[in-house]
């Protein structure tokens, strides 16, 4: 099929490249000329393992352009994969989605299917279809379908090529058959439903996972108070197939482009209909508070961080990505700087993005050893494998005062017993020097 993709972020670019991998002719559209030049040279503008390799492999079937008119004009399927950023009130900003819809209506010359891949509030697909049909040339049949994404940053290519499910929301069988044909070579079950149900599947799925994380973090906080160990607790929980062992890792909260935005968007939507989702509201509150757990723990050791040498390991919201959106580092580092801390920070791929916000007052290091050297306390915000490989002796030998606050439970507490290192984590008992 001939396919156009509007937007080359995580969703749009990964979708386009994976469709090309399955033999479709794909044109990716973006307004950023520099991104287009990068992609044309085979370089991905986002960090995503395996993506560049597929871009190069399928370059004969992939085009990149800022010319949306040529891209949309002859396409059988047009994906809308642009951003839906969070507004101040928590609702989703749909201006980019509607702008693409207007462009499609303006230029399209043949019947086609428009697929909304962006995460959008329930009912948005209906509005997109109405907008297009009200402005398209007379006689053309444009059908809009919802096809939410379920990819995770760091594993996006795998999540797309071998998805847990493909959800297609449509109001007619013709559209369903076109999209089933498009996805026929993908290794995933396909669910056909109406558009509003498809839109809700996305929010309900992400928000359930956010709930699970927040619940485990609440249990972890209580474990610290009563002397239990969250690792043992979650292992016991995970044996129950009704609960499962995924998303049971305690830590300093979820981040990224999906969970924070999607929980707030669904909470806002419920309030719009005079309905309160109490569980979602609680998850949001728990997650916001959880981000400050390490700072609170650190106050036991230093009332003020004035001239205290601080090591920060990990800046991104999770390993395998350079994305900083809603990362705990973004709320903790400013507090430390404001309190006078001297910070050295390390991250294998997130430093350049962090420098765009904080270029001064932080020493960025190329390796963990330089980051830890002569510091008085260490904060672990991201569970990179390089961090997990550290031993208690590394902290003891490199740091001036080996106090380690682990926000991702990278190590077993037993490793730090008799290590002469103070080690605190989430939901487990502290090990004091």
For residue 242, what are the contacts with CB-CB under 8 A and spacing of at least 6? none
Q: Is 108 left (phi over 0), alpha (psi -120 to 50) or beta?
A: beta
Distance of alpha carbon 340 from the chain centroid:
31
Q: Report the C-alpha gap between 229 and 237 in whole angstroms.
A: 13
Contacts by 91-100, CB closer than 8 A, 24 or more apart: 91/121, 91/265, 91/268, 91/269, 91/272, 92/119, 92/120, 92/121, 92/261, 92/265, 94/120, 94/121, 94/124, 96/7, 97/124, 97/128, 98/127, 98/128, 98/131, 100/6, 100/7, 100/68
Q: Report the C-alpha gap between 413 and 223 in whole angstroms.
A: 14
Active site residue 410: no
Q: Which of 18, 223, 258, 365 is catalytic?
A: 258
**Beta carbons of 162 and 142 less than 8 angstroms apart:** no
For residue 306, what are the contacts with CB-CB under 8 A and spacing of at least 6? 339, 340, 341
Two tokens, residue 99: 């702008």
Alpha helices by DSSP H, 183-328: 195-226, 230-238, 259-272, 278-290, 293-298
Q: Report the C-alpha gap between 205 and 190 in whole angstroms.
A: 16
For residue 271, what are the contacts with CB-CB under 8 A and spacing of at least 6? none
Cα-based angle 265, 266, 270 (whole degrees, multiple of 5) = 120
- CA-CA-CA-CA dihedral for 404, 407, 412, 414, to nearest 10: 40
Two tokens, residue 276: 């309160």
Q: How many CB atoms within 10 Å of residue 356?
A: 8
- CA-CA-CA-CA dihedral for 302, 303, 305, 308, to nearest 10: -30
Two tokens, residue 154: 């760091």
Which residues have a catalytic role annotated? 258
């Amino acid at each position: 099929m001939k396919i156009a993709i509007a937007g080359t972020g995580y969703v749009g670019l990964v979708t386009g490249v994976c469709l090309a991998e399955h033999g479709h002719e794909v044109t990716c559209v973006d307004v950023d000329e520099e991104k287009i030049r990068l992609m044309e040279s085979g370089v991905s503008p986002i960090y995503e393992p395996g993506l560049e390799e597929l871009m190069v492999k399928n370059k004969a079937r992939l085009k990149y352009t800022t010319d949306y008119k040529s891209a949309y004009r002859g396409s059988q399927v047009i994906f809308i994969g642009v951003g839906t950023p969070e507004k101040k009130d928590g609702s989703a900003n749909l201006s980019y989605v509607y702008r693409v819809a207007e462009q499609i209506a303006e230029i399209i010359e043949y019947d086609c299917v428009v697929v909304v891949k962006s995460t959008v509030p329930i009912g948005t697909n209906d509005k997109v279809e109405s907008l297009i049909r009200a402005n398209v040339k007379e006689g053309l049949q444009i059908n809009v379908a919802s096809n939410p994404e379920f990819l995770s940053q760091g594993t996006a290519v795998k999540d797309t090529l071998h998805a847990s499910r493909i959800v297609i929301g449509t109001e007619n069988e013709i559209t369903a058959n076109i999209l089933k044909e498009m996805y026929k070579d993908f290794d995933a079950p396909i669910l056909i439903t109406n558009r509003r149900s498809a839109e809700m599947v996305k929010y309900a799925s992400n928000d359930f996972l956010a709930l699970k994380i927040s619940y485990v973090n609440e249990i972890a906080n209580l474990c610290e108070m009563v002397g239990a160990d969250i690792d043992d607790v979650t292992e016991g929980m995970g044996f129950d197939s009704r609960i499962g062992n995924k998303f049971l890792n305690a830590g300093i909260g979820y981040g990224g482009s999906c969970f924070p935005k999607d929980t707030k968007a669904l909470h806002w939507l419920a309030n719009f209909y005079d309905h309160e989702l109490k569980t979602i509201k609680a998850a949001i509150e728990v997650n916001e508070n959880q981000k400050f757990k390490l700072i609170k723990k650190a106050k036991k050791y230093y009332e003020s961080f004035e001239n205290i040498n601080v090591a920060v390991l990990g800046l991104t919201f999770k390993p395998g990505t350079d994305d900083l959106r809603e990362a705990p580092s973004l709320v903790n580092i400013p507090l430390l700087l404001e309190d006078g801390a001297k910070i050295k920070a390390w991250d294998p791929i997130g430093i350049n993005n962090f420098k765009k916000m904080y270029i001064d007052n932080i020493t960025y290091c190329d390796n963990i050893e330089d980051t830890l050297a002569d510091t008085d306390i260490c904060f672990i915000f991201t569970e990179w494998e390089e961090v997990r490989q550290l031993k208690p002796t590394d902290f003891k030998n490199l740091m001036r005062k080996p106090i380690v606050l682990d926000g991702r439970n990278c190590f077993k507490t037993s490793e730090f017993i008799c290590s002469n290192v103070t080690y605190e984590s989430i939901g487990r008992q502290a090990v004091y020097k």
